[in-house]
Structure 1
Amino acid sequence: MASVQVDIRDIVLSNSSFGPREITNLSQTIAEDYAQFGVLRDAVGELEVREDRTPAAAVRLGVCYYLLGRYRSAAETLSSADGGAVAHYYLGKTRFAMGQYADAIKAYAAAKVAGYNSDDTSLATAEAQRYEKQPQKAIETLDKLSGAVEQTAEYLYQRGATVAALGGSPVEVVALFERAVEADGRHPGALFGLAVENDRHGNDELALQLYQRAAGTFPTNVGTLINLGILYEDRQAYDRAQQCYNRVLEAFPEHPRARLYSKDAAASGNMLFDEEAQRRNDRLAQVLSIPVTDFELSVRSRNCLQKMGVRTLGDLTRTSEQELLASKNFGETSLVEIRDMLHSKGLELGQFAAEKAVAEPVLDLASMSPDEQALLERPISELNLSVRARKCMARLGLTLIGELVRKTGDDLLECKNFGVTSLNEVREKLTTLGIKLRGD
């Protein structure tokens, strides 16, 4: 199919002819540049407020409502439009989208009487019959068609889907879908059908490619966008997954699965970012934990560091030059030596001086019974915390319940992605054991 770019505003707002060709051009333009969806929405907004809207303009508006996914408005507008073939046909498409399959079949029949292409109305009728759980009627409708229509992508797709509904051979179904894609490489139904088959059989890479191609059509099948989003999530491409779900929500703001999946993808994306940041922090922590005794320092430098209680590179990054120079027998030569040692690991003296460790409060174990002391030695994993709460414990380096109860609620809330809900969860778990966070 040749690339077609049209002026969407002109088609929607002008008084020029408006039929199947113009509707196809609208759909294809948006498929090739999804930003044009917003142009269509804005143009429809302008058409809505026109006071001199004719019955013909009502058809234009109703079809555009259908393309935007505003099916209730489309049904109301097309029902009171000019009663022509296009109005009846797209009323049928709208009824079908709303799950009103019997009404869709009636509308397609009226469209055929009014002069709409009989092959197109028969194919649409067969689809509605299949969804009405009457696949035998659907195949009979398809069997009545003959000639060039039998080689079209829509016919091959509808036949494949109907054979599947009748419990026919999966091999035949796939072959029909493949022939449909050969006839039209952008047929949304056939691409989706092939993608689902490959998805089921674990052919993830081919399924992904087919879903991507199907997502490049308009109007896009909601199932295509949802399934593609899930595959993106499997690949940790959370931004792309959200784009798929948000496309669904643009047309259907209350779509429950899209809303849920979009939130999950956003949370997972944040979590992925956090995990990468955590890996970087872990690598830094490993470097900071390297003992200064691993380096060939002069005797004077080693003795001075030992007297100051500086044992690791991390201790040095929390110590300023002034503090080192204030130490007895520590001079400029030793300072240069220490600087060079830290520079070899990409560190600086005093780099983390603002993060001097604050001593953890000491628990008075003497006043506790043996059972209470044993409780504090139990691992945090026994609390069965949620994933988000467990990740916070890991980030803070907490492994024992005794380490956890030394923290305040504010300490925990400083951990990224740990909110009030997680804090309440921790408090509830500790309360069941008869203990609390520090300060509670």
Structure 2
Amino acid sequence: MIDLKVLMVEKEDCDAGTVQQLRNGLLSDKAQYKVLRDAADTLRKRLATAVAPTLGKIHLKLGISLYFLGHPKEAAEHLGNADGALAAFYQGRILASRGLNTDALAAFEKAEKSGYNASQVNLQRVGVHRQMGKLTEAEALLEKHKDLSSHSAEFHYQQGQLRLKEGKKHEGVDSLEKAIKFDPNHTGALFQLAMLNDQAGNDDEAVALYEKCRVNPPVHTGTLTNLGVLYEDQGKYDKAHECYKMVLQSYPSDEQARLYVKDAVASQTMIVVHDDAMSDPQMVQVFELSVNDFELSVRARNCLRRMSIKTLGDLTRISEDQLLTSKNFGETSLVEIKEMLSIKGLRLGQSLEAGGESTTYRPVGELSEEDQLKLAAPITDLQLSVRARKCMSRLTLSTIAELVCRSSEELMEARNFGVTSLNEVREKLRERGLALRGE
């Protein structure tokens, strides 16, 4: 077994071969992460008394160690204080992962001039150009190194990412799968395939791929966060908690991860009380009956439409007084509605009496055309995070109009929907000049 402390502390030089040995060591045994952390601590102490040229070598080894331990920001600082091709190459990778594309290109330029493998540098440049939207330049670089397609996982990964950016999903997936074929531990390809399965609702496949990412250094925080959300969906709150804690180990100030930890801990002891009526499958069907299935006068039907009341369940969540405040809704219409509900054994405000929340509906007729378009837009337009998006799906909300008819309390009652997701939804709605009911 490789002794990582000897490799990173006692060995004088650090080159590409050292990096490969380091990665292999971490893959072989999880306990090696602690050894590497101890090595990093030793290197930090040695910095205090080191002088050139030893100083630069320590910065390099510490930067590489921190990179694989999942501390990219600190790693970049040390790599910036080191000389040589290896330091510049990994600094470029970190800068690219943080979206600092111009700085990343400068670092890759320095790496190539310092002697780093030109084809490997260019493959990283492909990714940067793709992030910058320069797809023609990215394609030209790939074409220049098409001979790598016979054996390079990184080539197929970059090709796959480029095809996805171009909207060619099937070709992109095919290339990513080829990358995994050449290197089963290619973190980038594993993560992207996991994301695609996650977005498609293939949760089991996504979990399997994220779990592979998790044991392949360096571990991306997106892997841990997304895997944690999926674990929560499966009721594995202890595993979700572990994922979020790992994020905090790398990013102690990550407020989102901190809130996710609280949500996961709370979920482990959460007791859900179901309303008796709504736990009855027959009653659920009754609540979901459309008001259009009943014979109503034109006036009553139009009033319900303006108030966005679509089902019998909607009527049980609104009071008589609320109905009567609607324009053109009088006693005659009220009698019609009551009779319709009584046929099914229901009454106005029934859900409110059971402790439910009143629903304030937006009268469609009073909205401008622009506002109606905003509300008619699908929730996917909000580009919510994985966790928030899954909660919207569980609540069967498909349009922004349906979302703004919900209160924050109603959303918070949804499984795995916590403060972080609520704030995210509020912010997305605020950007469109909208808000949740009651806000």
| TM tier, smaller | 0.5 to 0.7
- Counterpart in 2 of 1:62? 63
- Counterpart in 1 of 2:26? 30
- Counterpart in 1 of 2:355? 381
- Counterpart in 2 of 1:317? none
CA change 1:122–1:61 in 2 (3 A) is same
Distance in 1 between the 2:150 and 2:119 partners? 10
- Counterpart in 2 of 1:18? 14
- Counterpart in 1 of 2:178? 179
Cα contact 1:211–1:228 (8 A) shared by 2: yes
Whether 1:259 aligns to 2:262 is: no
Distance in 2 between the 1:73 and 1:151 partners? 33
> Larger deviation: 190-199 or 115-124?
190-199
- Counterpart in 2 of 1:216? 215
Cα contact 1:28–1:218 (8 A) shared by 2: no
Distance in 2 between the 1:208 and 1:267 partners? 22
Describe the superposition over 1:341-367 as per-residue Cα deviations: whole angstroms up to 9, x where unpaired: xxxxxxxxxxxxxxxxxxxxxxxxxxx
CA change 1:66–1:216 in 2 (3 A) is closer
Describe the superposition over 1:11-53 as per-residue Cα deviations: whole angstroms up to 9, x where unpaired: 2211343111221222232244334323222211111111125
Cα contact 1:105–1:125 (8 A) shared by 2: yes
Describe the superposition over 1:84-103 as per-residue Cα deviations: whole angstroms up to 9, x where unpaired: 11121122123223331111
Cα contact 2:91–2:107 (8 A) shared by 1: yes
Describe the superposition over 1:232-288 as per-residue Cα deviations: whole angstroms up to 9, x where unpaired: 1111001111111122221112223322222111111122xx569xxxxxxxxxxxx
Distance in 1 between the 2:357 and 2:97 partners? 48
CA change 1:115–1:382 in 2 (3 A) is closer
CA change 1:70–1:210 in 2 (3 A) is closer
TM alignment of 1:277-426, pairs within 5 A: 379=353, 381=355
- Counterpart in 2 of 1:52? 50
Distance in 1 between the 2:31 and 2:238 partners? 17
> Larger deviation: 213-222 or 60-69?
60-69
Query: TM-score w.r.t. structure 1 length?
Result: 0.58
Distance in 2 between the 1:205 and 1:65 partners? 31
CA RMSD, 1 decimal: 2.2
- Counterpart in 2 of 1:365? none
Amino acid at match of 1:19: D
Structure number with bigger Rg = 1
CA change 1:71–1:174 in 2 (3 A) is closer
Distance in 2 between the 1:196 and 1:249 partners? 21
CA change 1:253–1:27 in 2 (3 A) is farther
TM alignment of 1:59-208, pairs within 5 A: 59-81=60-82, 83-148=83-148, 150-167=150-167, 169-208=168-207
Distance in 2 between the 1:164 and 1:58 partners? 37
Q: Secondary structure at the residue paired with 1:56? A: helix
Cα contact 2:70–2:220 (8 A) shared by 1: no
Structure 1: runs of 5 or more not aligned: 277-377, 385-440
Shift of 1:136: 2.5
Amino acid at match of 1:130: R
Describe the superposition over 1:366-398 as per-residue Cα deviations: whole angstroms up to 9, x where unpaired: xxxxxxxxxxxx9561578xxxxxxxxxxxxxx
CA change 1:207–1:6 in 2 (3 A) is same
Query: TM-score w.r.t. structure 2 length?
Result: 0.58
Q: 2:2 aligns with which of 3, 6, 9?
A: 6
Amino acid at match of 1:134: K
Distance in 1 between the 2:267 and 2:32 partners? 30
CA change 1:117–1:181 in 2 (3 A) is same
Higher-RCO chain (CA-CA 8 Å, sequence separation at least 6)? 2
Cα contact 1:229–1:241 (8 A) shared by 2: yes
Describe the superposition over 1:127-180 as per-residue Cα deviations: whole angstroms up to 9, x where unpaired: 12222232332222211113245531111011010111122x211111111111
Distance in 2 between the 1:227 and 1:77 partners? 29
Distance in 1 between the 2:140 and 2:124 partners? 13
Q: 2:38 aligns with which of 34, 38, 42?
A: 42
Amino acid at match of 1:115: G
CA change 1:87–1:32 in 2 (3 A) is same
Q: Secondary structure at the residue paired with 2:116? A: coil
Cα contact 1:136–1:166 (8 A) shared by 2: no
CA change 1:26–1:35 in 2 (3 A) is same
- Counterpart in 1 of 2:240? 241
Identity, % of aligned positions: 35
Distance in 2 between the 1:187 and 1:56 partners? 27
Describe the superposition over 1:163-220 as per-residue Cα deviations: whole angstroms up to 9, x where unpaired: 11122x2111111111111111111111112222222222222222111112221101
CA change 1:90–1:182 in 2 (3 A) is same
Amino acid at match of 1:186: N
CA change 1:241–1:382 in 2 (3 A) is closer
Distance in 1 between the 2:28 and 2:264 partners? 26
Amino acid at match of 1:39: V
Cα contact 2:126–2:142 (8 A) shared by 1: yes
- Counterpart in 2 of 1:370? none
